[in-house]
Structure 1
Amino acid sequence: MEITSLVKLTKGRAKICLDNGADFVLYKKEYEHYGIEEGAELSELQYEEILTEILIPRCKKRALHLLEKQDRSEKNLRDKLSEGGYSSDIIDIAIDYINDYGYIDDARMAASHVRFYQDSRSRQRLKQDLLGKGISSDIIERVLDEEYTVDEQDLIEKLLAKKHYDKETATYEDRGKIYRFLASRGFSSDTINRALS
């Protein structure tokens, strides 16, 4: 396989592109060890060694590191690893490895998110948040049914009190401002209008 390009990146890394369409990121010490430079040949054996000895273990380690900081959905983890320059094949191997240990659980992650934010966001807003994180609609509905225990009218009253909103003294501008605030929390127009009138 011919190395078609070697593009230097930050932190002493470089993206190596091969004539078969494959590309990967190595540190300077690693690509120098294999004699990788533009126009040079990379044997099949060297390529396999780079995959099995460097890229796959590094991707697994990176995935574990990302999960160490916070729960992530599988989609979010895939996106983060892809940003790191890993190919989809390597990411699949790392995700399978992580799944074997039960470290990715979209339902657990969704339940944690709902419990944390249910005191400040509507059911609809939580649903949108979780869809944005790549959680499936089925899991979201199940988790919301199990975990979302807040009465939205009570929640709006609590948020209005926190914002020191007084219906009697509120100006038209105050009402518009609080309306936008509640809408940003995912409450419907009907629910907001009932609370503000």
Structure 2
Amino acid sequence: MYIIRTEIINTKKSRILFDNGIECICCRPEIRKFDLEADKEITEDAYLELMKDYVGKRAKKKAMELLIRSDKTEKELRDKLKRECFPEFIIDETMAFLHSYHYINEDNHLETYIRYHGKGKSRIYLKQELKRKGFDREKIGYYLEEYHDEKEELRYLIKKKGADIGKMSPKEIEKLCMQLYRKGFSQSDIRKEIFHYPE
């Protein structure tokens, strides 16, 4: 196996491209130990050692650091590791490792996220947010049904805005209605809450 290209990132790291198409970032001690220079050959054993004992361990450490800071979905972790130039097979191995120790628990994460980050958010808005984070669509629907009260969040948002409906002009009320509608709440729920229309 040959090293096709090396690219210095900074004084401590370089990006290495191997002739099997794998690209990764290596640190100075690894570069010295394995003599990672362009147009040089690396044995299969040395390559596997580099990937397992250095690149692989660094990926696991990075993923653990991210999880210590805050809960992450598998998609968020994968995206972050990709941006750090970890090879796909290393990312797969890292995810398998995290799942084996239950470090990724997306059910708990989803419930917690809805409870603590769903305040004042419509179901539509929150659903889009959760999809972007990579949660399973079916689970999103289930947990929103269980832990998100659309009308309660609408009341919370109106209160948060400090809106005193009795003292607002029709124009101000209409502006408030439009703000709430743009946040994803339905017009019927908004008007029921503001004008106390019957259910």
Same fold by TM-score greater than 0.5: yes
- CA–CA distance in 2 between the matches of 1:27 and 1:77? 21
Paired positions, count: 195
Q: CA deviation at 1:169?
A: 4.3
Structure 2 residues not aligned, in runs of 5+: none
Stretches of 4+ aligned residues off by more than 4 angstroms: none
Q: CA deviation at 1:191?
A: 2.5
Q: CA deviation at 1:171?
A: 4.9
Which one-letter code corresponds to 1:157 in the other structure?
R
Which one-letter code corresponds to 1:160 in the other structure?
I
Alpha-carbon distance change, 33 to 176 in structure 1, aligned in 2, over 3 angstroms? farther
1:91 match: 91
Identity over aligned pairs, percent: 28
Post-superposition CA distance 1:11-65 (Å, at most 9, x none): 6211100122111110122212211111111121211110111011111111111
2:37 match: 37
Between 115-124 and 94-103, report the one with greater CA deviation: 115-124
Aligned ranges for residues 52-131 of structure 1 at < 5 Å?
52-131=52-131
Q: Is the CA contact 2:121–2:154 (under 8 Å) kept in the aligned structure 1? A: no
Alpha-carbon distance change, 172 to 28 in structure 1, aligned in 2, over 3 angstroms? farther
- CA–CA distance in 2 between the matches of 1:66 and 1:11? 24
- CA–CA distance in 2 between the matches of 1:138 and 1:71? 20
Aligned ranges for residues 1-197 of structure 1 at < 5 Å?
1-10=1-10, 12-148=12-148, 150=149, 152-171=150-169, 174-175=172-173, 177-197=175-195
Q: Is the CA contact 1:73–1:106 (under 8 Å) kept in the aligned structure 2? A: yes
Question: With structure 1 as the length reference, what TM-score do the two structures score?
Answer: 0.88
Which one-letter code corresponds to 2:4 in the other structure?
T
Q: Is the CA contact 1:120–1:185 (under 8 Å) kept in the aligned structure 2? A: no
Q: Is the CA contact 1:14–1:27 (under 8 Å) kept in the aligned structure 2? A: yes
- CA–CA distance in 1 between the matches of 2:194 and 2:37? 67
Q: CA deviation at 1:93?
A: 0.6
Q: CA deviation at 1:131?
A: 0.8
Alpha-carbon distance change, 44 to 156 in structure 1, aligned in 2, over 3 angstroms? same
Q: CA deviation at 1:189?
A: 3.2
Alpha-carbon distance change, 3 to 159 in structure 1, aligned in 2, over 3 angstroms? same
- CA–CA distance in 2 between the matches of 1:22 and 1:61? 20
- CA–CA distance in 1 between the matches of 2:152 and 2:89? 48
Post-superposition CA distance 1:60-82 (Å, at most 9, x none): 11111111111111111111111
- CA–CA distance in 1 between the matches of 2:30 and 2:171? 61
Which one-letter code corresponds to 1:124 in the other structure?
I
- CA–CA distance in 2 between the matches of 1:21 and 1:90? 14
Alpha-carbon distance change, 13 to 160 in structure 1, aligned in 2, over 3 angstroms? same
Which one-letter code corresponds to 2:44 in the other structure?
E
Q: CA deviation at 1:167?
A: 3.4
Question: With structure 2 as the length reference, what TM-score do the two structures score?
Answer: 0.87
- CA–CA distance in 1 between the matches of 2:65 and 2:190? 42
- CA–CA distance in 1 between the matches of 2:156 and 2:52? 55
